[in-house]
Amino acid sequence: MNFDIAPEDEAFRAEVRAFITAHLPPDIARRGQHDYHSAREDVQRWMRILNAKGWSAPHWPARFGGTDWSPLRKYIFQDELRRARAPVLDRCALDLLGPVLCTFGSPQQQARFLPPILNGDEWWCQGFSEPGSGSDLASLRTRADLDGDHYIVNGQKIWTSEAHYADWIFALVRTDQTVKPQAGISFLLIDMKSPGIVRRPIWSIDEGLTLNEVFFDNVRVPAENLIGEPGSGWGYAKFLLTHERTTSAVVSHTKRDVDQVRHLAAHARAGDGLLIDEPAFAAKLARLEAEVIALEWSVMRVLHAAEHDAAGNAVASLLKLRGSELSERAALLAAEALGDHGLAAMPDPEGHHILHGDGLSPGLTDDEAIGVTAKAMFRRATTIYGGASEIQRTLIAKSILGL
């Protein structure tokens, strides 16, 4: 056992940090302090900078434009991006679709779709959930029927993140109605500009737009856009959902948020002193910080565990459960730090998607304070999406404890 990080890895972190410092445009960095989803333009600019360096998708295999970094270095890279408040990249394309394409895609599909992802030219969204199949994917009903060399897609997807930005969607569709529910599902890539696709925004309680419904009405999709084998979609989806065992911890995000809370509390007056010196608040922040440390060291254990290591799986199973809880806690604490202003709506003043574009917001001058309450509301979703906490606990009980 050895819990020390190697000097070469420390040097790597310094290299990443130096690159980001030198290349992240200051205006993007400033907007990154705000607690909104980054606008597509910011993400795109930043992706092109990263792509020029070969760092768009370090976790992909090197031959597809990724790197051969160790899991720890991939983590350090992401960690430094969060530290710098760089825009969050197109996670659907990079983290979800990318590994599937690299592993199961045909050479033609890889050549067609991977490069535009790396350069931020084409954006993706994920079409898995449907109305009535929240955490129960096997029950999905969107169908794709073969008609010559095209599939005809009919149905509806919901909770589709960033569909309003997306150029493409990768969807689970039912291509065979005659077999057992999981066996009839295929993995299909669909151009969002296809006739018959309608997007409907789902405004969320933070008054922001990230989620959508997507309707398919006799949408024609070339059969060559099907990944791998028809009927194997369920397996690819499981691969995709389990491929990255540590990102669901969102630990670097929460580390950034803890720093944010500390900053806000150090600048918030409380009576004749500062909030950071209020013992009750300081203790809550310290507790959060300690839990984040425990979470990050859990990530370290998983990063260094062999893929099928039982102990590693036990630890991996807690990352989403606790990571999502801490993510919301951090946001709630940031709102609490703002005091009266932590109760105010803060629609993104520079965003493109505002439910109530009335510009009514308290007069905040600290970039770190802008958007805090929108984030606090949005984060209510963290313990719901991607397998709700109740599902996670049942999974742990059954798969780890054998109950």
Binding residues among 343-362 for other proteins as defined by CB under 8 A: 343-345, 355-356, 358, 360-362
Q: How far apart are the first and last CA of the chain?
A: 31
Tokens representing 389? 């906490």
d(C-alpha 98, C-alpha 117), whole Å: 8
Residues 154-213 close enough to bind other proteins by CB under 8 A:
158-159, 202-205, 207, 211
Nearer to a second copy, 304 or 393 (CB): 393
d(C-alpha 262, C-alpha 276), whole Å: 7
- Asked if 397 touches other proteins (CB under 8 A), the answer is yes
Residues 279-338 close enough to bind a second copy by CB under 8 A:
279-280, 283
Nearer to a second copy, 287 or 356 (CB): 287
Nearest to residue 373, comparing CAs of 399, 327, 338? 338
Q: Which of 10, 80, 244, 289 is catalytic?
A: 244
The alpha-helical segments, DSSP class H, found in 24-59 are 26-33, 40-53
Handedness of CA 190, 192, 193, 198 (dihedral sign): positive
Nearer to a second copy, 146 or 283 (CB): 283
Using the rule CB under 8 A, give the single segment among 2-10, 104-112, 161-169, 223-231 that binds other proteins.
2-10
Nearer to other proteins, 42 or 296 (CB): 296
Inter-CA distances, 394 with 38, 58, 323, 357, 399, Å: 34, 33, 17, 42, 8
The site for a second copy, by CB under 8 A, has a size of 3
The alpha-helical segments, DSSP class H, found in 24-118 are 26-33, 40-53, 71-83, 91, 98-104, 107-118
Binding mask 126-145 for other proteins (x = CB under 8 A): ---x--x-xxx---------
Question: CA torsion 396→398→400→403, rounded to 10°?
Answer: 120
CB 104 within 8 A of CB 123: no
Residues 17-36 close enough to bind other proteins by CB under 8 A:
none
Hey, what amino acid is at 115?
A: P
Question: Minimum CB separation from a second copy for residue 280, in Å?
Answer: 6
Nearer to other proteins, 327 or 373 (CB): 373
Nearer to a second copy, 30 or 287 (CB): 287
Question: Minimum CB separation from a second copy for residue 268, in Å?
Answer: 18
Binding mask 262-281 for a second copy (x = CB under 8 A): -----------------xx-
List 35, 162, 336, 348, residue binding other proteins (CB under 8 A)? 336
List Cβ neighbours of 88 (8 Å cut-off, separation of 6 or more).
37, 38, 43
Nearest to residue 166, comparing CAs of 96, 62, 66? 96
The site for other proteins, by CB under 8 A, has a size of 106
Residues 56-75 close enough to bind other proteins by CB under 8 A:
72
Question: Minimum CB separation from a second copy for residue 394, in Å?
Answer: 16
Question: Minimum CB separation from a second copy for residue 283, in Å?
Answer: 6
d(C-alpha 291, C-alpha 381), whole Å: 20
Q: Which residue in this structure is represented by tokens 């592993």?
A: 103
Catalytic (active site) residue 244: yes
Tell me which DSSP letter residue 87 carries: P
Active-site annotation, residues: 244
Binding site for a second copy (CB under 8 A): 279-280, 283
